[in-house]
Structure 1
Amino acid sequence: MIVSALLTSVGINLGICILFFTLYSILRKQPEIINVYAPRLVAEGKSQLKDCFNLERLLPSAGWVRRAWQPSEEDLLSTSGLDAVVLMRVLIFSLRIFSFAGVVGIFILLPVNYLGNQLSLIDFSDLPNKSLDIFSISNVDNGSKWLWIHFSAVYAFTGVVCYLLYYEYKYISSKRISYFYSSKPQPRQFTLLVRGIPLSAGNSYSDSVESFFMEYHPSTYLSHMVVRRTNKLQKLIRDGKMLYKRLVDLKSKNPAQKKFTRDGFLGLFGRNVDLVDHYEKKLEDLEENVRMEQLGLSLTGEEVPAAFVSFKSRYGAAIALHIQQSINPTEWITEQAPEPRDVYWPFFSASFMQRWVSRLVVFVACFVLTVLFLIPVVFVQGLANLQQLEAFLPFLKGILTITFVSQVITGYLPSLILQLFLKMVPPIMKILSSMQGYISNSEIEISACKKVLWFTVWNIFFANVLSGSAFYQFSIILEPKIIPQKLAIAVPAQLLNVYEPKFETGGKFWPIVHNSTIFSLILMHILAVGLFGLKKLPIASSLCIPLPVLTLLFNEYCRKRFLPIFTAYPAECLIKKGREDHNNAAMTDFLDKLVTAYRDPSLMPMQHSSDDEGYTTPLLNSR
């Protein structure tokens, strides 16, 4: 890619960015669509927009950007939970890293690279038509002493990133402990999921669970809820929700536009009936079927060898969690239960063989998706290179001679196409993760994040950057048109006004950020070793070898020092919190409700909603 193509891309993206900012600042003030831009405020009755016309509503303003950053971290923590705070800390962490890298790269490394002579003599008068490679280390002469500046930058960048990682890990760990002390009792803190329950002759799984925990945990055991296979019931409930949505849509239309259908096979035969009456009758029949199925499951439904077991204290649950329960390690397997609203109930309806096959299928699907994605990557690389494009599509040769057209095709179109393809990856990875047998929606989200990370590392770094120009990828990163979307996700306010948290992990997403950053550092070190070797500076190459070792030692220290806090709370915290609960009169009511907290929602009375979330849809949607 040439400089003028990059500038054209930046100019187009900047124009789109300004357009999006203008549209957003106008549309967010329209009361007719306030439920789109601030649904949480509408749901909580805090919307202050008046449904009366005034000229100010049609004028763009930037005050919302300033107000978005006004809420403090404490406000965010109290309204949206620790996960929202961690998301904001990730943004701050990223800005700090890219600010340091940007200053060093633009004001130190870029001039050094530009003044090199390895590629060709530089003609300042023809700079727009020069390849961006002249701004890369490729242009520095082999064996040049200027390469030691790059070497110093590698060490400095590693030191700054490790310091920031340590600071954030320590800060978020302390926030996690503070959040635990200040939070109200949560069902997950008192409950374990027990799997691999052995079945005794003449006893049900429920009887086995009660007798086992009454014998071995008599002073702390409170209650249990055995999971039942409810896949047929789940399907009925999904059908009911879809039917209810159709009914709501029909009733919202003009009554004069009544529609009729035939009540026979596929609506092709039988007598004409009113659609509203027809759907209401079908919904009543379906609700009756649901009630009958629920009654049957409650009495004689098939039990799954898994149960949610609740304890009288957090400490009692922690002991049962960390001690092997049986001589046979494949029986009475315990793990921390997620929050009731975070449980992914369809997991329990799948058999062991189905889950095992699903994991194999997901692995193969991820591999195939990664390989197939090479097709758009290769296509994009072709667009970024005019010579390749003319060779593949010779009929475009005349059009490509037009300067502006060639700049748009090589500078803007590749990044646009690649971003459109990348938009499809997170939803696909989330679907694949939901098939792997995770017990909670948060685990599905974490697994999907890891899949997207590795997908990005392979397809965007190895397959794209290493096969083409690194500065092309740089143009993708700097796309201004995605700034409004990033702002809508990242700033403390589209958390306060838009999103209602549907589950809380207590900041467990941070270790993913830490691990991915460590991986990126080590990858940078390996590339530096090879790069300095190619540039005929073997001493610098050798001196880079300790960097990945030191980085791994730093990572191991962080794993020992901070990661256990994200895995389980220490006994010190559990006992202190338990003593506070002992003096809390509300604990009796909490323990009474805990008995039924993990009841399968499909066994509860059917509740209709006009939202479009399916029964198996993960609770945290893509932002």
Structure 2
Amino acid sequence: MILSALLTSVGINLGLCFLFLVLYSILRKQPGNITVYAPRLVAEGKTQQRGQFNLESLLPTAGWVKKAWQPSEEELLSILGLDAVVFMRIFTFRLWIHFCAAYVFTGVVCYLLYYEYRYISSKRIAYFYSSKPQPHQFTILVRSVPVPSGSTCGETVESFFTENHPVTYLSHSVVHQSSKLQGLIGDAEKLYRRLGNLKLKNHTPQGFKRDGFLGLFGRKVDLLDHYEKKLEDIQDNARLERSSLAGKEIPAAFVSFKSQLGAAVALHIQQGVNPTEWLTEQAPEPQDVHWSFFSASYKKRWISKLVAFIACAALTILFLIPVVIVQGLTNLDQLETWFPFLEGILNLAFVSQVITGYLPSLILQMFLSFVPPIMIMLSSMQGFIAQSQIEKSACIKVLWFTIWNIFFANVLSGSALYQVNVFLEPKKIPSVLAEAVPAQASFFIAYVVTSGWTSLSKDLFRLTPLVCNFFKRVFAGKAGDEFEVPSIPYHSEIPKLLFFGLLGVTYFFLAPLILPFLLVYYCLGYIIYRNQLLNVFASNYETAGKFWPIVHYSTIFSLVLMHIIAIGVFGLKKVPLASSLIVPLPVLTLLFNDYCEKRFLPIFKAYPTECLVKKDREDLNDPATMAEFYEKLVTAYREPTLMSMQYPRSTDGRNIPLLHAAEV
């Protein structure tokens, strides 16, 4: 059965069920129907046919539900007999299967989490032992350097670490305010690549283009001469900017040591008497450094963090608008109320299936596609020193944004004020979720198909790069020019994987029909991303598995959420014992999480002394390699803007350095 037919069938049956329940609640109260809806009571003389009619009897009510739940098992036994009680126990026995499944499922997930945490931790240690010496393993970043008057930051750092770390200290690189120069260097690199491609084409007539957008506007110029003149201007501006860098030192420096243990000691021990000075943190890989961050003062960084938090909160609230739109599309009656002129079109079966089944998840996915770039921008404002830290922070933001706005907002599907009130009254949360979560199963199945299956296929097809490449070839004549190898977008893909995991965990016993769709997604994603990692993506940095704790915490959250929903479900089904016995599950899960934090998380924060000493001893067995490594380490954290770069300045092929590598 295809998805649209499935959703149509589910919708029809739910509609009929709701209609029958409403009609029953009305007709059972009509005087002439007493023999239809309560013949046993009439036969036993426990009720009589009512002869009066009133308007209130035309209103649907749920009082019959309360009366059906009130009698105890002993009362049912005395009234109906043992067979009837056994029949009702069958329903309870289904409930107990779900109770046991919750424990078994939690145990299996926790075991797999422990196994994966242990396995990835061991792989992280093994990767550390097998890797060659890396600059970031021997280097720390020192901030808030107290520079005395009449001295420079470099002199202060040299004096301090020579005195306090005389055996292990190797070198340092002071950071400068070079954001403007970085922009000039970036522009020069783009022009350099364009010039190189033009020269490879031997200056064909294709080199004559208009200098405007996509080569369609502006005056017609010889691109080779045009780019060379622009490059000369950038070179002149870059030299002027570089000459002023000497007075733009930031009280921060990358300090390198002769051993990894020496760097670790300096990292984890307070360096100065004043704890607000000589602040240390682990240095990222040289190519992972976010140099733009260093241009901001501490005050600006603090303000930026506050602004990023407020902006993230505002985005989360504003995103409720598309959620409301999506919920309106899933309800044809509400849609007809909003747009009465569409009533005829909405009555068509195919149109209604598309609008209620496919369109809501598509619209939500379109709005959600703007979230990862925004979160990257907000994270870059928060003062992180590495691109990997920015992406990890954005990953966490996108994950919780998705959980709140895609799961909770759609599940509760009420006003924002109502949602807040629910979470301000913790006792109501299990029952509210138990009622709301199952009702959205069909929506999330469609969401998995749209945001999962289709999105994966689109990623494999690479529609946007394909279109951009086509326009470049047709309009700008840049086939194969200026392309960049993309990096895998961890900040957007990891949250998507984890969100689908949350759906699988929370719906496994409420609506297991979603599980095959998730299984297809994970199988498809495994193959597609292996292909993309092998052929498309290149890594800009290596964290050695530091994204795994995010996966662990998300899975723990999903389990606890499932437990809360299970407590609510058993409470609604009037099985208080099962509901009470579920309560220990979230407690045990959180205790398991605490154990994993103490057992494995420290390995993902820093390598232990045992590993550092062992690796340092292995490195010392190859003195020639280490001597060469130390030479490279001295300049590993020198800012790219201070390094020598060669760019062609004329068509004669002469190369003139844009920036010399002299000390600043």
TM > 0.5 fold call: yes
Q: Deviations over 1:549-576 (max 9, x none)?
A: 1111000000000001111111111111
| Residue 191 (structure 2) pairs with residue 153 (structure 1) | no
Contact 1:5 1:408 in 2 (8 A): no
User: Identity of counterpart residues, as a percentage?
Assistant: 63
- Provide the residue aligned with 1:282 in structure 2: 230
Change (3 A) 1:449 1:507: same
Change (3 A) 1:589 1:247: closer
2:348 to 396, 402, 418: 402
Cα distance between partner residues in 2 of 1:605 and 1:310: 22
* C-alpha deviation, 1:282, in angstroms: 1.9
2:635 counterpart SS class:
coil
Contact 1:8 1:408 in 2 (8 A): no
- Provide the residue aligned with 2:323 in structure 1: 377
* C-alpha deviation, 1:207, in angstroms: 0.9
Change (3 A) 1:323 1:348: same
Cα distance between partner residues in 2 of 1:552 and 1:325: 36
| Residue 447 (structure 2) pairs with residue 476 (structure 1) | yes
Contact 2:173 2:253 in 1 (8 A): yes
Q: Deviations over 1:380-403 (max 9, x none)?
A: 111111111111111111111111
| Residue 409 (structure 2) pairs with residue 466 (structure 1) | no
| Residue 162 (structure 2) pairs with residue 214 (structure 1) | yes
Change (3 A) 1:227 1:355: same
1:200 counterpart SS class:
coil
| Residue 172 (structure 2) pairs with residue 255 (structure 1) | no
1:565 to 583, 603, 616: 603
* C-alpha deviation, 1:248, in angstroms: 7.0
Contact 1:237 1:606 in 2 (8 A): no
1:552 to 573, 582, 590: 590
Cα distance between partner residues in 1 of 2:2 and 2:331: 14
Q: Residue 171 of structure 2 aligns to which amino acid in structure 1? A: S
* C-alpha deviation, 1:469, in angstroms: 1.9
| Residue 226 (structure 2) pairs with residue 239 (structure 1) | no
Alignment of 1:6-25 (within 5 A): 6-7=4-5
- Provide the residue aligned with 1:168 in structure 2: 116
Change (3 A) 1:403 1:261: closer
Cα distance between partner residues in 2 of 1:573 and 1:425: 40
* C-alpha deviation, 1:238, in angstroms: 3.4
| Residue 238 (structure 2) pairs with residue 200 (structure 1) | no
Name stretches of at least 5 consecutive residues in structure 1 with no aligned partner: 12-109, 122-137, 610-623
* C-alpha deviation, 1:378, in angstroms: 1.1
Contact 1:214 1:221 in 2 (8 A): yes
Contact 1:10 1:475 in 2 (8 A): no
| Residue 332 (structure 2) pairs with residue 386 (structure 1) | yes
Cα distance between partner residues in 2 of 1:353 and 1:524: 42
* C-alpha deviation, 1:524, in angstroms: 1.7
Q: Residue 255 of structure 1 aligns to which amino acid in structure 2? A: P
Change (3 A) 1:459 1:397: same
| Residue 453 (structure 2) pairs with residue 455 (structure 1) | no
* C-alpha deviation, 1:292, in angstroms: 3.8
Change (3 A) 1:506 1:276: same
- Provide the residue aligned with 1:599 in structure 2: 638
- TM-score, length of structure 2 as denominator length: 0.67
2:390 counterpart SS class:
helix
Q: Residue 191 of structure 1 aligns to which amino acid in structure 2? A: T
1:359 counterpart SS class:
helix
Contact 1:528 1:544 in 2 (8 A): yes
Change (3 A) 1:9 1:249: farther
* C-alpha deviation, 1:473, in angstroms: 1.1
Q: Residue 454 of structure 2 aligns to which amino acid in structure 1? A: K
* C-alpha deviation, 1:548, in angstroms: 1.1
Q: Residue 253 of structure 2 aligns to which amino acid in structure 1? A: A
1:540 to 571, 578, 581: 578
Change (3 A) 1:373 1:604: same
- Provide the residue aligned with 1:515 in structure 2: 553
* C-alpha deviation, 1:176, in angstroms: 0.4
Root-mean-square deviation over aligned CA pairs: 3.1
Alignment of 1:103-502 (within 5 A): 144-145=91-92, 146-241=94-189, 243-244=191-192, 255=205, 258-259=208-209, 274-297=222-245, 300-467=246-413, 469-479=440-450, 480-484=453-457, 485=459, 487=525, 491-502=529-540
Aligned length: 479
- Provide the residue aligned with 1:28 in structure 2: none
Cα distance between partner residues in 1 of 2:387 and 2:310: 22
Q: Residue 133 of structure 2 aligns to which amino acid in structure 1? A: P
Q: Deviations over 1:372-426 (max 9, x none)?
A: 1111111111111111111111111111111111111111111111112222211
* C-alpha deviation, 1:158, in angstroms: 1.1
Larger radius of gyration: 2
* C-alpha deviation, 1:344, in angstroms: 0.5
- Provide the residue aligned with 1:85 in structure 2: none
- TM-score, length of structure 1 as denominator length: 0.71
Contact 2:179 2:291 in 1 (8 A): no
Cα distance between partner residues in 1 of 2:632 and 2:380: 29
Cα distance between partner residues in 2 of 1:261 and 1:339: 38
- Provide the residue aligned with 1:106 in structure 2: none
Q: Residue 470 of structure 1 aligns to which amino acid in structure 2? A: A
* C-alpha deviation, 1:439, in angstroms: 0.3
Cα distance between partner residues in 1 of 2:609 and 2:206: 67
Name stretches of at least 5 consecutive residues in structure 2 with no aligned partner: 22-64, 70-87, 414-438, 460-523, 649-664
Cα distance between partner residues in 2 of 1:261 and 1:407: 49
2:173 counterpart SS class:
strand
1:226 counterpart SS class:
strand
Cα distance between partner residues in 1 of 2:375 and 2:270: 34
Cα distance between partner residues in 1 of 2:250 and 2:239: 21
Change (3 A) 1:488 1:164: closer
* C-alpha deviation, 1:350, in angstroms: 1.4
Which stretch shifts more, 507-516 or 422-431?
422-431
Q: Residue 167 of structure 1 aligns to which amino acid in structure 2? A: Y
